[in-house]
């Protein structure tokens, strides 16, 4: 079965993080500049939360908090669900669907090593299915 490790190998494992003391404005600007929908929150190298577009809308905009002075600690999702490199793609998909989340930090032995999105899972599965279809087509049509 395919694992998170395989997704990270294809995608890369660069992870942008913010500190809990960062402002919402700083995090939102980083997310906007990099085209990402979430950023893990780390303190002394340890994952303590995640800040997502959903957090921004529900906890900042809807509550009319000022983004330039509101800290990430105040509005982040603490203790986010995580995956391990050996977690299967199917298990991640089931977890993300059941819990209605789109971003899953990946923890290895040394801490945060990546983040996968529901889009990463979908792209990986489509790629795997395309490879299977190509293999089956070559088997069926190229047999001589």
Q: What is the mean pLDDT of each run of 10 residues along the chain (144 residues)?
A: 92 91 98 96 96 97 98 97 96 95 95 95 80 73 65
Q: Which domains does the chain have, with CATH numbers?
A: 4-141 (3.10.580.10)
Are 125 and 89 within 8 A, CB to CB?
A: yes
Q: CB-based contacts of 11: which residues, under 8 Å, 6+ apart?
A: 114, 116, 120
- Beta-strand (E) ranges in 1-144? 38-43, 46-52, 77-78, 103-108, 111-117
Are 106 and 112 within 8 A, CB to CB?
A: yes
pTM > 0.75: yes
Give the C-alpha separation, 5 to 126, whole Å.
17
Torsion of CA 92, 93, 99, 100, to 10 degrees: 130
């Amino acid at each position: 079965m395919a694992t998170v490790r395989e997704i990270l190998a294809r995608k890369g494992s660069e992870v942008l993080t913010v500190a809990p003391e960062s402002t919402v404005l700083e995090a939102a600007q980083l997310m906007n500049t990099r085209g990402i929908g979430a950023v893990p929150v780390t303190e002394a190298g340890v994952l303590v939360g995640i800040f997502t577009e959903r957090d921004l809308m529900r906890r900042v905009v809807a509550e009319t908090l000022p983004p330039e002075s509101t800290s990430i600690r105040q509005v982040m999702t603490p203790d986010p669900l995580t995956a391990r490199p050996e977690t299967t793609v199917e298990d991640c998909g089931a977890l993300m669907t059941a819990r209605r989340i789109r971003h899953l930090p990946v923890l290895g032995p040394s801490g945060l090593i990546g983040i996968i999105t529901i889009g990463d899972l979908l792209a990986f599965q489509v790629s795997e299915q395309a490879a299977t279809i190509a293999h089956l087509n070559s088997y069926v049509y190229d047999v001589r």
